[in-house]
């Protein structure tokens, strides 16, 4: 079930984020509770819930069109959850007046293949990651 994230989801969001096997945070201190709190306060954070547990989430930044996060717990991958969360993030950006979304991901990962298959365009590099963009 797709729903807006709640402040009570914070621990679950962190658990999903730390469970991934690709695009892992090299320095977990670079993402703080304040980051999550900002996305919770601004309508950009959505979760996917299965049997009462948060198993994936996306976060979109309506200030600049960035998809800040899209993560699904490993045992729930390849079930279409990531596609639903990505579509929700794009919809939130579009409703904020954003015409072109962007995101970054590590090269040579399943995420790179996922974004390419979803029609995202490789637009360059940013901070040693691949930069993808897409018109909304």
Q: Tell whether the model's pLDDT for residue 6 goes beyond 70.
A: yes
pLDDT score at 37: 85
CATH fold, domain 2-98, is: Aminopeptidase (3.40.630)
The predicted-structure confidence for 10-65, as pLDDT tens digits, reads as follows 999 999 998 987 765 555 556 777 888 888 888 779 999 999 999 999 999 999 99
Give percent above pLDDT 90 in the chain: 76
Q: How far are the Cα atoms of 35, 46, 51, 62, 91 from residue 24, in angstroms, in the given order?
A: 17, 20, 26, 24, 26
The predicted-structure confidence for 105-114, as pLDDT tens digits, reads as follows 999 999 999 9
Structural domain boundaries in the chain: 2-98
pTM: predicted TM-score of the whole model, two decimal places: 0.91
């Amino acid at each position: 079930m797709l729903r807006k994230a709640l402040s009570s989801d914070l621990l679950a969001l962190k658990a999903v984020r730390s469970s991934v096997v690709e695009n892992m945070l090299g320095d977990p201190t670079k993402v703080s509770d304040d980051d999550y709190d900002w996305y919770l306060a601004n309508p950009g954070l959505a979760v996917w819930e299965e049997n009462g547990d948060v198993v994936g989430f996306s976060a979109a930044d309506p200030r600049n069109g960035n998809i800040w996060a899209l993560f699904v717990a490993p045992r729930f991958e390849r079930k279409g959850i990531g596609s639903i969360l990505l579509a929700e993030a794009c919809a939130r950006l579009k409703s904020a007046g954003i015409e072109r979304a962007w995101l970054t991901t590590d090269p040579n990962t399943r995420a790179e293949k996922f974004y390419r298959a979803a029609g995202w365009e490789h637009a360059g590099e940013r901070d040693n990651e691949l930069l993808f963009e897409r018109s909304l």
